[in-house]
Homo-oligomer: A and B are copies of this chain.
């Protein structure tokens, strides 16, 4: 993409209303623009990041065997009256009356809707398990929306739902989601630790939150050090093998890892050696619940079991804050110049800076490199503006592309361009084709 054709409205000033770094940087980098309190437009750069995050979530959900569908944003109130949550939910639910005076709502979550879908067609334990998910916009009418996309009102969430014949198989599904989440967050370059959680308004008795450790996190976290250091790495997981999934689940839930909702200082001190206790702040990016028959019972979502008896389905729900992750990623990875995107979610794989726009040889070299990067499957943001080098570098650093190729007349005379890492700040001089090959190698398999 040529910057002169793109729409990248970066801000020179730091917006006064933004209290945390991710909100400031998303506004400054032209990623988002506020529409009204807690509601944002995702400008082109932000939208690309959102799509990359979404894509990783899709891939990891499908890898574990969950099936995508898409439920609407507007739900009928009657569905929520069946579960009893229409009255219980409170003012965070955006309630709507349509032109025929029917009560509707903008879905804050989808347990009722998915239970209605499943009960309409699933009749026997043989039809189970079913693991279904969607990525859809939600609305929660927060009384004080803040922190940009981290606590917005309209937000994008991945919510999955499991349907099993009994508690034991439901917990197998639960464990699959926990394990799938490990790779999901790792692929984004995040260290997200599963922590024992209260079940909250969804209800249930088996719940974990995934928290990214970051100074600006809204939750206090208390973690045994080795839990924060675990990594799934490239380990292949056979999700069809309950024992293998259980073993990984056990590893990741064996140590102390709690938020301040569930923290117990006495247990922390008894179970964890003093030097191993980490007290920090965390950002919630995922939340999984087993809630059993909480919805299937009132909504009469029943299956005939192997014994011929009709009984309510056992379920769980599994959320990932897709839009929130864009903010969490920045909280976890930035410096005083701007954002530092991990390669897996960067909006463009490379930035290309032309130091002398209008100089025929430099323009031609840039065009050539730009074309070759595209041919190598790398999306590049080419700064083809007639701006000073300093302004171009500042923009690239602000928007956080992990790799930059700088092309100028002086280097070209020696047959080289500069390849710069956003993270380390280090540059190397390379022949253009070597710089392209290096980038292709870095992004291979991502």
Contact = CB atoms under 8 A, between A and B. Distances in A.
Nearest to A104: B36
Contacts of A73: 73, 137, 154
A411 interface: no
Contacts of A68: 44, 47-48
A42 interface: yes
Interface in A37-84: 39-44, 46-48, 50, 65, 67-76, 79
A142 to B, nearest CB: 9
A52 to B, nearest CB: 13
Contacts of A76: 35-36, 39
Contact of A99 (B41, B50, B91): B91
Contacts of A33: 117, 120
A157 interface: no
Interface in A83-109: 91-92, 94, 96, 98-99, 102, 104, 106
A69 B91 contact: no
Nearest to A142: B99
Given A137-B137, A154-B74, A102 B67 contact: no
Interface in A1-46: 1, 5-7, 9, 30, 33, 35-36, 39-44, 46
Secondary structure class of chain A's binding surface, majority of residues? mixed
A143 interface: yes
A6 B67 contact: yes
Contacts of A41: 69-72, 113, 117
Contacts of A121: 7, 9, 30
A167 interface: no
A132 B7 contact: yes
B40 A72 contact: yes
Contact of A69 (B35, B43, B122): B43
A378 to B, nearest CB: 16
Of A69, A71, A117, chain B has the most CB atoms within 10 Å of the CB of A69
B70 A47 contact: yes
A132 to B, nearest CB: 6
Contact of A7 (B9, B44, B69, B139): B69
B132 A65 contact: no
A78 to B, nearest CB: 8
A33 B68 CA distance: 15
Interface of A: 1, 5-7, 9, 30, 33, 35-36, 39-44, 46-48, 50, 65, 67-76, 79, 91-92, 94, 96, 98-99, 102, 104, 106, 113, 117, 120-122, 130, 132, 134, 137, 139, 141, 143, 153-154
Given A9-B122, A42-B69, A42-B70, 11 more contacts: A5-B67, A7-B69, A7-B121, A35-B113, A41-B71, A41-B113, A44-B67, A46-B69, A47-B69, A47-B134, A74-B153
Closest 7 CB pairs of A and B: A9-B121, A36-B76, A42-B70, A41-B71, A91-B99, A99-B141, A47-B70
